[in-house]
Amino acid sequence: MDIGIVSMRYAKALIQYAKDTGTEEKLYNEIRSLERSFRLHAELRLALENPVLSVKEKCSLISTASVGNDEPSQEFSRFISLVLKKRRENILHYICIGFLELYRKANNIGVGRLITAVPVNEDVRKRIRESASSMLHAQMELQTEVDPSIEGGFIFDINDFRLDASIATQLRRVKKQFIDKNRRIV
């Protein structure tokens, strides 16, 4: 069984269902939140694959991971029930990724990720999002992360392009150039 094909079929079916019911944006927000939970908490996937947990407990776990204490939409609940009934919880993360890709492509949404050594304020986020939106001629979603290991500067990923202006990378380049130059001398 090819996980990519199966998960894409579920994702396409979900996006079509969302279009038919007019709940694309609400489902998009719930699926995006669920995918983020999968990324940040590896234990979630392990818990869903646990055969000891009942379908009801798994459904509750997924709902909590996507909307917290709020009530999930009826469409989301029906979809999760279908996934659990068909015993496809092991590919739920891939289904989420496929759905997000399809939605973003259909709605012309780009995704950017900004990694900095210190937190950035909302004004900087807004300016970066607006600049990237005008360059891509698309809406932008900007995810920010704080990673002190880059020591300063920033790393900006947008679609398949990376701009690495971090101090750590610049120091590695200088070190490599120094080593290469000294090898030639000897």
In the sheet that holds 161-166, the strands lie side by side as 139-146, 109-116, 153-158, 161-166
pLDDT at residue 2, as a whole number: 58
Quick one: 24 and 36 in the same domain? yes
Contact (Cβ atoms closer than 8 angstroms) between residue 170 and residue 153: yes
pLDDT at residue 181, as a whole number: 84
- Which of the listed residues 77, 105, 133 is the one where a domain comes to its end? 105
Quick one: 129 and 167 in the same domain? yes
* Tens digit of each residue's pLDDT (9 = 90 or more) over 33-52: 999 999 889 898 899 888 89
Contact (Cβ atoms closer than 8 angstroms) between residue 109 and residue 32: no
**168, two tokens:** 């750590």
Mean pLDDT (10-residue bins), the chain, 186 residues: 80 93 93 92 89 90 88 91 91 93 91 90 90 84 89 86 89 90 72
Contact (Cβ atoms closer than 8 angstroms) between residue 144 and residue 125: yes
- Which of the listed residues 105, 138, 153 is the one where a domain comes to its end? 105
Task: Report how many domains make up the chain.
Answer: 2
pLDDT at residue 1, as a whole number: 46
Quick one: 156 and 168 in the same domain? yes
**114, two tokens:** 């900004």
Quick one: 100 and 138 in the same domain? no
Range of the domain at 76: 3-105
The CATH number of the domain where 132 resides is what?
A: 3.30.360
- Which of the listed residues 46, 77, 105 is the one where a domain comes to its end? 105
The CATH number of the domain where 43 resides is what?
A: 1.10.520
pLDDT at residue 115, as a whole number: 92
pLDDT at residue 186, as a whole number: 53
pLDDT at residue 3, as a whole number: 64
pLDDT at residue 142, as a whole number: 86
